[in-house]
Structure 1
Amino acid sequence: MSFELTIIIPVYNEEDNLNRVQQEMKQFLSIAKKKTKILFVNDGSKDNSQALIEKICKDTDEFTFISFEKNAGLSAAIKAGFDYTNTPWVGYIDADLQTAPEDFNILMEFTGEYDLVTGVRSNRKDSFTKNMSSTIANGIRRAFTHDGMDDTGCPLKIIRTDMAKRIPMFNGLHRFLPAMILLQNGKIKQTPVRHFPRVAGVSKFNLWNRLLGPLQDCFAYLWMKKKYINYSVAKQG
C-alpha cells in the first residue's frame, strides 16, 4: 500500500522536543486513517536538532528529512515540504507538539469533500498576550481575505498536494493557506482540535511577527490576489 499523506514537521532549534516528536508520531502512524510518512524540514537549526533528526530517520523507515543550509523561516520550510511531497495529501504540525498528531484523524474525516482542512485550537493553553495578539491578527487577516477562518495560525492542517504545490509562497504566506486554496476555487473547512502548553524549547514568535508582520503580509496577499492566474484545461489533444 502506497503512502497517502506526508506530514511536514518544520524544525528550528527543537532538540529538546525531538525525542517526544519521534515517540508521538510513531504512535500516530499506527492509527492514522491514511497511510502516512513524516518529513522533517530542518530550517537551519544551530543546536543538535540535525543529529537527532538523522538518528530518528535512520531508526524508522517512515521518517525522512531535508535540511536547509541556513535559517530561511517557517514559510520557506513549509514551501520546501510541499515541494518534496509526493503523496496525494500533505499536512504539517509544529515540533513543539502543542497540537496532537492524533487529531490529524479528525481532519481526515473531511477530505472527501474539502481540499484544505485546518484545525481551530480550542481552549488554547497560551499566555494572555499571545492569545490576544493572535485574535487581533486573525481578525485583520479575515478582513482582508474574507476566508472565514478563525485560526489560520493553527499548526495542524492537511491540504490536497497538487493544490499546495501551486501556492506561490512568500514569507508570511503560511498564514494565508486557506485563502490561497480559495483562489484556486478549492473548498476549505475548519474543525476544533486540542491544544496543549509547550513543554520544552521556546516560541519563535513575538508581538512583532504576530501583529505587525501579518498586517504587512495582508497587503502582499491583496497584490497577489489581483495578479493571481487560475485556469482549468477543458480538453487536450
Structure 2
Amino acid sequence: MRCDVWSKRVATRIANGLRRKVLKDGCVDTGCGIKVFRRDAFLQLPFFAAMHRFLPALFQIHGYRVDYVEVNHRPRRRGLSKYGNLGRAAIGVVDLLGVVWLKRRTHLPSATTEDGVEQAR
C-alpha cells in the first residue's frame, strides 16, 4: 500500500484507473520504479521521455507477455518531487493520447510456425 500524502494517492488512483481503462493493459499501478524486461525488447519500443508509465502497454502492443508482481511501498529517501499533481496529469494525458495512437497504428507481422500456421508475435 502506498504511504504518500492523500492528494498524491488520490491523483495516482485516478491516473492509473484512466490509463488502465483506456489502454486495457491490466496493470494496477505503473508508478513503481521496479521493472524487469529484456533489453532487446525494450530497444524495439518507441522512445519518449515519460514512457515508464506506459511500459506494460507498450510491451503488449509489441507482442510481449507482461506479468505483474506486487511490491511494497518505498518512500523517497532524498530530494523533492520536481512537479505536483497538475503537472503530472498534464504530461500524463498527452502521453496517454500518444500511446493510444501508437496502439491503433502498430500492426505486428504474423509469424509462420514450422507446420505453416500463422501466429501473431
Secondary structure of 1:157's counterpart equals coil
**1:210 aligns with one of 62, 74, 88:** 88
Alignment of 1:171 with 2:49, yes or no, is yes
SS at match of 2:37: strand
CA contact (8 A) 1:133 1:210 kept: no
Distance 1:164 1:232, change over 3 A: farther
Distance 1:204 1:190 in 2: 28
Selected match of 2:68 from 190, 194, 219: 190
Q: Does the 8 A contact of 1:134 with 1:211 survive in 2?
A: no
Whole-Å Cα distance in 1 between the matches of residues 87 and 14 of structure 2? 12
Map 1:48-197 to 2 at 5 A: 123-197=1-75
Decide whether the 8 Å contact of 1:142 with 1:149 is kept in 2. Answer: yes
Structure 1 unpaired stretches of 5+: 1-122
Q: Give the conservation status (yes or no) of the 8 Å contact 1:149–1:190.
A: yes
> Which letter does structure 1 place at the counterpart of 2:81?
S
Deviation at 1:201, TM superposition (A): 0.9
Report % sequence identity. 34
Higher relative contact order (CA 8 A, sep 6+): 2
The answer (yes or no) to whether the contact 1:136–1:211 under 8 Å persists in 2 is no
Unaligned runs of 5+ in 2: 114-121
Cα distance per residue 1:172-195 (max 9 Å; x no partner): 222110001111221111111121
How many Å separate the matches in 2 of 1:183 and 1:151?
Answer: 18
* AA at the equivalent of 1:224: L
Q: Distance in 2 between matches of 1:193 and 1:167?
A: 25
CA distance in 2, matches of 1:199, 1:231: 45
Alignment partners' CA distance in 1, 2:39 and 2:77: 31
User: How many residues end up aligned between the 2 structures?
Assistant: 113
Task: Say which is worse superposed, 129-138 or 208-217, in terms of deviation.
Answer: 208-217
User: What is the root-mean-square deviation of aligned Cα atoms in Å?
Assistant: 1.8
Tell me how far 1:199 sits from its aligned partner: 2.7
Q: CA deviation at 1:159?
A: 0.7
TM-score by length of 2: 0.82
Which structure has more helix as a fraction of its residues? 2
Q: Which whole-Å CA distance do the structure 1 matches of 2:110 and 2:43 have between them?
A: 16
Q: What's the CA shift for 1:217?
A: 1.4
1:212 match: secondary structure: helix
Distance in 2 of aligned mates of 1:214 and 1:166: 22
Question: More strand per residue: 1 or 2?
Answer: 1
Provide the residue aligned with 1:64 in structure 2.
Answer: none
